[in-house]
Amino acid sequence: MGSECCHALHIFFFPFPAPGHIIPTVDMAKLFASKGVKATIITTPLNAILISKAIEKSKTSSNLIHIQTIGFPCEDAGLPKGCENIDSLPSPEFFPTFFIATKMLQDPLETLLLQQHPDCVIADMFFPWATDSAAKFGIPRLVFHGTSFISLCATECMRLYKPWKNVSSDTETFVIPELPGEIKLTRLQLPPFPINDEKPSEFASLLEEAKESELRSFGVVVNSFHELEEVYADHYRKVLGRKAWHIGPLSLICNRDMEEKANRGKEVTIDEHECLKWLDTKKPNSVVYICFGSMLSFSSSQLREIAVGLDASGKQFLWVVRKSKSEQKVGEEWLPEDFEKRLEGKGLIIRGWAPQVLILEHEAIGAFVTHCGWNSTLEGVAAGVPMVTWPIAAEQFYNEKLVTEVLKIGVPVGAKKWGRMVLEGDGVKSDAVEKGVKRIMEGEEAEEMRNRVKVLSQQAQWAVEEGGSSYSDLNALIEELGMLRQ
């Protein structure tokens, strides 16, 4: 395709206001800008502050990336002032209200579409109305789910066949029909909204709207690469008939130096140089990294179980702790007596936000205890780090199956029950933490998993380089959008 066509393209990127959605969307905007596409990120004033910092550090055509702000209707929707990001909500009770507030962004988005008339809108799946908004002006809308092909396929197969209805108890396993790989789950591992389909919640209705909206959209962009999920990428496109492009891993493509990697997401609560300096004192593959993403929080009792399990494992660790907001003022009784003092030099606790990509890429990191959010899972794969999987909510149980059973690059900690993203994860005991950490760090099985994930890490790198699967899919998408424009 000629460069003049590419330069003529203008794309709106419209992320859902949550860290796990904003971060890959900003990476995506940087990726398209590196191809000469004008990228405009639509967001709210308080979110724009974080996004602008990430863009300023970008070394890839940052002059082609623009931020356009629209007001967030906190007070109109019944939210406290300043709650423009789901991460800033004072309690889980505001979760439904926040989604109502995001629906009120439709009119300001349509005003911008009328004024600027971009060539495409890439909008988060939680904005199902964006398909109709774009269609009003003859603009194609692409959906960004921010998740894996396996979860997209599994979710659709569950919706179509409802296999949980064929088991007699919550703990009896069933196979997800028509999904490659003989993937088994229990009812306990499912969110409540597909099971209680006779009385759908507002959130279940939103997901149904999102599915219907996706079917009428131009297609789906996926933060993955073909070699990682080949059978599921092919199933999604060829069997389920979805139009989709894989263009990831986005974290690998768009963050080439330390400064860019350190400035992804929120303000880090530890100096990245101090953090890396600590890791520099450790031997290769000797440290376990524990982090449960930007949204999940734990009760003090669960944090204590993790602490006891880490201590018993005898392994060095770097642990990012996020307490539930209801317990943030309680103090740190969850820590065993003299825990940090006793393990000084052996363990490092970060309270808040950490530069995850930088940490995972450090040679000292030997394993990653993760909630299986897709951003974290993909960052672990790209860094070549095997995982202990601890899914809690959303689509994380599907991602766990990819890691532990399909790719065989991780071991499950034994999480049995689906929770809610903004409520407290609970129920995994210290002996399970100890066992999972030892299993991923010691012995022949651990070495085999490490070797497999190192191969996938290399394939991820190849995928985003010239001629690679994601590189080619991105070019094909830009070319198709360019032809539509003409």
Pairwise pLDDT comparison (265 vs 482), residue with the higher score: 482
**445 and 471 belong to one structural domain:** no
Residues 6+ apart with CB under 8 A from 11: 29, 32, 37, 38, 39, 40, 118, 119, 120, 121, 122, 481
Q: Which pLDDT value is given to residue 25?
A: 96
Enclosing domain of residue 309:
266-461
The alpha carbon of 1 is separated from its chain's Cα centroid by a whole number of angstroms, namely 32
Query: What is the structure's pLDDT at 326?
Result: 56
User: Does residue 147 form part of some domain?
Assistant: yes
User: Is residue 27 annotated as part of the catalytic site, yes or no?
Assistant: no
Residue type, 420: R
pLDDT value of residue 400: 98
Beta bridge partners of 124: 144
**In terms of domains, do 243 and 279 share one?**
no
| Residue-level pLDDT at 58 | 64
Examine the domain organization and report whether 366 and 480 are in the same domain.
no
Q: Are residues 369 and 467 in the same domain?
A: no
Structure tokens at 71: 């007001």
Looking at residue 215, the DSSP 8-state letter turns out to be H
**Could you tell me if 213 and 110 lie in one domain?**
yes
The strand pairing partners of 368, in sequence order, are 289, 387
pLDDT at 3 over 50: no
Non-local CB neighbours of 219 within 8 Å, separated by 6+ positions: 142, 143, 242, 243, 244, 245
Do 353 and 338 have their domain in common? yes
Name the burial class of residue 384, with classes exposed (0-12), middle (13-18) and buried (19+) by CB atoms within 10 angstroms of its CB: buried
Residue 141: phi and psi, rounded to 5, are: -115, 130
Q: In this structure, what token pair is assigned to residue 32?
A: 């398209």
Specify if 257 maps to a domain.
no
Which pair of structure tokens corresponds to residue 372?
Answer: 């299986």
> Residues with Cβ < 8 Å from 349, sequence gap 6 or more?
319, 321, 340
Within a domain: 15: yes
pTM: 0.93
Whether the pLDDT of residue 70 is over 70: the answer is yes
Inter-residue contact 6 to 31 (CB < 8 Å): no
- Check pLDDT > 70 for residue 126: yes
Residue 182 lies in a domain: no
Each residue's pLDDT tens digit, 219-261: 999 999 999 999 999 999 999 999 999 999 999 876 665 556 5
SS3 366: strand
124 classed as catalytic: yes
Tell me which of 94-98, 360-364, 386-390, 407-411 is least confident. Answer: 94-98
Provide the pLDDT for residue 294: 77
Note whether 303 and 337 are same-domain residues: yes
Mean pLDDT in residue range 436-449? 98
**Judgement on whether residues 17 and 87 belong to the same structural domain of the protein:** yes
Average of per-residue pLDDT values in the chain: 89
Whole-angstrom distance, CA of residue 317 vs CA of residue 345? 10
Q: Where are the alpha helices (DSSP H) in 141-249?
A: 149-161, 192-195, 202-215, 230-234
- 124, 226, 235, 362: the active-site residue: 124
Domain presence at residue 73: yes
322 — pLDDT class (breaks 50, 70, 90): confident
Q: How many domains does the chain have?
A: 2
CA atoms within 13 Å, Cβ hemisphere of 479? 9
Per-residue pLDDT averaged across 330-353, rounded? 80
Owner of token pair 């139009």: 243
Instruction: Give the relative orientation of helices 300-313 and 430-441 as an angle to the nearest 10 degrees.
Output: 40
pLDDT of residue 255: 60
Q: What tokens does 149 get?
A: 């092909």
Neighbours of 236 (CB within 10 A): 23
Q: Look up the CATH number of the domain holding residue 434.
A: 3.40.50.2000
Can you spell out the DSSP letters for 105-169?
Answer: THHHHHHHHHHH--SEEEEETT-TTHHHHHHHTT--EEEE--S-HHHHHHHHHHHHH-GGGG-SS
Phi-psi region of 285 (alpha: psi -120 to 50; beta: other; left: phi over 0): left
Q: Which pLDDT value is given to residue 365?
A: 98
What is the arithmetic mean of pLDDT over 108-117?
97
Residue 10 lies in a domain: yes
Q: Is residue 241 part of a domain?
A: yes
pLDDT of 422 reads 42
- Cβ neighbours of residue 91 under 8 Å, at least 6 residues apart? 325, 326
Same domain, 442 and 471: no
Same domain, 398 and 469: no
Q: Judge if 209 and 302 occupy the same domain.
A: no
- pLDDT beyond 90 at 351: no
State the residue for tokens 């790198």. 461
CA 57 from centroid of its chain's CA atoms = 22
CB 231 within 8 A of CB 179: no
Shared domain for 431 and 472, answered yes or no, is no
Percent of the chain with pLDDT over 70: 88
* Residues 144, 122 contacting (CB under 8 angstroms): yes
Give the sheet arrangement for strand 387-389, strand by strand: 347-351, 316-321, 287-291, 365-370, 387-389, 410-412
Is 175 inside a domain boundary? no
Closest-CA residue to 184 (of 426, 378, 412): 412
Cα–Cα distance between 25 and 119 in angstroms, integer? 17
Distances in Å between the Cα of 228 and the Cα atoms of 144, 235, 360, 373, 382 are 18, 13, 18, 16, 10
